[in-house]
Amino acid sequence: MTPFQEELYRLLQDCKQESNAFTSAQEDAGNEITRLIKFSNAWDFKDKFENVNKANEQLNTKLAQEKAEAETRTIKSITRELIPIVDDLFLLLRVSSDNDAINKTVRLLLVNFEGYLKRHGGGFIRPKIGEALNPAKHKAVSVIEVPVHTGNTIEEVFRIGYYIENQVLREAEVKVKCAVKTA
């Protein structure tokens, strides 16, 4: 081989090696880009998953809150429907004798109803004679004016009141004693 041919052969070999190196670098870059794309897609999926998970938690919280509110509305609605029946039981209690079987049964029913109210954050509003009038819990249906008296106090209870979930369903109906207004 002539020196020219040897030099040409060596140049071709160098070009081939550089070409292989370049192709290898291209493949490495392509592999790196593919890996970055896969990582980016996985990261996007992770973000999407976290967003969906967050939205799901918010939805579950909202559903639980709406369920609790619906239960409260239902309990209040049922209790409002039962109030006239319970009022009739209190009237029956007044007219029956203390040792009567009806009296004992009515007392048992009232104790059970009061237990129902307590389980739902409620109870009876039973004002005491001489207690100060509380407009949030008592409704004055009658007034007695007396010359010397301070404040508005309960003189007589006509009907007890009811509350549930810390909300008054019906005020107790009372007769109130108050001072006479002088001109």
- The model's confidence at residue 125, banded by pLDDT at 50, 70 and 90, is very high
pLDDT in tens, 1-30: 677 667 666 666 766 666 555 556 566 666
Q: What is the largest CA-CA distance in the chain?
A: 142
Confidence grade of residue 47 (pLDDT, cut at 50, 70, 90): confident
pTM of the model: 0.64
Contact 20, 12 (CB under 8 A): no
Write down the pLDDT at residue 20.
Answer: 57
Q: Could you report the per-residue pLDDT of 145-179, keeping only the tens digit for each?
A: 888 767 789 999 999 999 998 899 999 999 998 87
Select from 1.10.1740.10, 2.40.30.10, 2.30.22.10, 2.40.37.10 the CATH code of 46-179: 2.30.22.10
Tally of residues, the chain: 183
Q: DSSP state, 181?
A: P
Digit-coded pLDDT (tens) for 79-118? 999 999 999 999 888 887 777 888 888 999 999 999 999 9
Ramachandran angles phi, psi of 158, nearest 5°? -90, -50
Per-domain boundaries in the chain: 46-179
